[in-house]
Structure 1
Amino acid sequence: MHAGAEMDVQKELDTRGLNCPLPILKAKKALADMNSGDVLKVVATDPGSMRDFQAFARQTGNELVEQTSANDEFVHYLRRR
């Protein structure tokens, strides 16, 4: 999937201004309420979130579909396992 492609997102989280580990904790909580295969979009301003979400996906088995960054914002798409 390339950047700019419309992804079917079931839930969006705005974690701008929050630092690690808050974006991850909020994503974890949101994913718990979602169905398998649902996509969660997380918008963050913490540069460390790029690495954090990669580790989170590995540890939890949720798929990190895509990560993009623009204008000091980092967008993560996670598909619930």
Structure 2
Amino acid sequence: MARLDAEVFDLRGLKCPLPVLKTKKRLASLQKGETLTVETSDPLAVIDIPHLCREDQHELLESAKTETGHRFIIRKG
């Protein structure tokens, strides 16, 4: 099982399309199977991030509402 305690990629405060674009770029630097935890505050990220995962064959392990927005845990596919 992949480690879920990796550093948090904090994208809070950024507006669409920056959270999904930065997430895509960050995922490209990871090895297959590594996880990325992303924090966002943009309401559109709840649509964009899952869509990115489906399109690029990444596994969305968790999508959770937080006090400041949303947290996504993604396993690179």
Instruction: Please give the range of the TM-score, normalised by the shorter of the 2 chains.
Output: 0.7 to 0.9
| Counterpart in the other structure of 2:33 | 37
User: Which amino acid is the alignment partner of residue 10 of structure 1?
Assistant: A
Count of residue pairs the alignment pairs up: 75
Structure 2: which 5+ residue stretches go unaligned? none
Where in structure 2 are the equivalents of 1:66-77 lying within 5 Å? 66-77=62-73
Confirm whether residue 51 of structure 1 aligns to residue 42 of structure 2.
no
CA distance in structure 2 between the partners assigned to 1:38 and 1:52 by the alignment: 20
- Could you tell me which runs of 5 or more consecutive residues in structure 1 were left unpaired when the two chains were aligned: 1-6
Matches of 2:6 and 2:32, distance apart in 1:
11
* TM-score of the superposed pair, with normalisation by structure 1: 0.84
Identity of aligned residues (%): 33
Secondary structure of the corresponding residue to residue 54 of structure 1: helix
Q: After TM superposition, what 4+ stretches of structure 1 lie above 6 angstroms from structure 2? A: none
